[in-house]
Amino acid sequence: MPNFFSQPRERIATLPTPLEFMPRLTGLLGGPRIYLKRDDLTGLAFGGNKTRKLEYLLADAMQKGVTHFITEGGVQSNHVRQAAAAARLGGMQAELVLNTTDDDVPLQGNLLVDDLLGAHRHYVPTGPDRKPKMAELAERIKADGGVPYVVVSGGSDAVGALGYVAMILEMNQQLADQGVNPKCVYVANGSAGTQAGMILGVAMFGGGYAIKGFTVVPGSAAEITQDTLVLADQTAKRIGENPVDPALVVCDDTQFGSGYGIPTPAALEAIKLLANEQAILLDPVYSSKAFAGMIADIRAGLYSDGDSIVFVHTGGTPALFAKVDLLKPILTGG
């Protein structure tokens, strides 16, 4: 049976990403020692967590002789941006299905990068319209003699999640090298693939820490916990591993706020705080909400000053340039 180490992988990320101590932030918050796993620095077209998933998805596509790499997201999707770049490296045409109700979509942020990468963009009105459009594109490409490869939102399937199994192995080595024994590792949970892979990685390679995901998409914590568990088990099955212990899956929906892509006051504070104290930028959709959840846990007294915690920075910073209106409460304008 194939195991994790036999899975095809195309090395397109700049790895390992750094594991960095945040001294100023640690001092300001007065709680545990805070470390960042810098997956915003994976390198591919501004980087981000999706690049790790795409190492496995692209390799799978290349083995199948794919000509067209099809995926989906919002117009400012970080996944779509990285998928378009991965397709270029694999010699494939990126076909992007993006949902928007805007008749004149501004070419900025992630969408600008998609354009520069030569991706074909197909607009639909809503999220539920994306999958039928991808299926339609796939049929059209096959009819024209091409070989399509459809990637689900966020690259979050049993192939893509392998990228975060690998990340745990990488991070565990860094933790050992630096003598860090964290109590908890924090991460944003959108399409579940990142946290699912991390959970399976801990089940396989150990670590001794909890993984806590803060949800940034609609759905209760219970629903997203179940989705994450199902994906972790599907990934485990693919590589011949046992199902994971459900107790490993911890999701929290308290930072979601009023909607997807709408930063909460706590998320805006997190963006400002990390930028001012450590000169590191969070995105307004994913990482800022998870970072706000970590800050809330620190302020609630969950940790002593002898503890350590890790935040996995999943990237997404190009979205900042398309979300200026949402950032106005923390902008000085000077």
Task: Note the pLDDT tens digit of each residue in 123-132.
Answer: 999 999 999 9
In the chain, where are the structural domains located?
Answer: 4-48+157-330, 50-154
Asked if CATH classification 3.40.50.300 holds for the domain at 4-48+157-330, the reply, yes or no, is no
> Which pLDDT score, from 0 to 100, does residue 2 have?
66
**Torsion region of 63: left, alpha or beta (phi above 0 gives left; psi -120 to 50 gives alpha):** alpha
**Tell me, which fold does domain 50-154 have in CATH?**
Rossmann fold (3.40.50)
Answering whether pTM is above 0.75, one says yes
Give the H/E segment covering residue 313.
strand 308-313
Average pLDDT, the chain: 96
| Residue 136 scores a pLDDT above 50 | yes
User: In what order do the strands lie in the sheet containing 120-124?
Assistant: 120-124, 93-99, 68-74, 148-150
The 8-class DSSP code of residue 176 comes to H
- Catalytic-residue membership of 287: no
- Residue among 128, 173, 187 at smallest CA distance from 153: 128
Percent of residues, the chain, with pLDDT higher than 70: 99
Q: What are the tens digits of pLDDT across the range 302-326?
A: 999 999 999 999 999 998 999 899 9
pLDDT digits (tens, 9 = 90+) for 231-263: 999 999 999 999 999 999 999 999 999 999 999
Question: Do the domains spanning 4-48+157-330 and 50-154 agree at the CATH topology level?
Answer: yes
Secondary structure (DSSP) of 106-155: ---HHHHHHHHTT-EEEEESSGGGHHHHHHHHHHHHHHTT--EEE--GGG
Among residues 6, 77, 153, 288, the one annotated as catalytic is 77
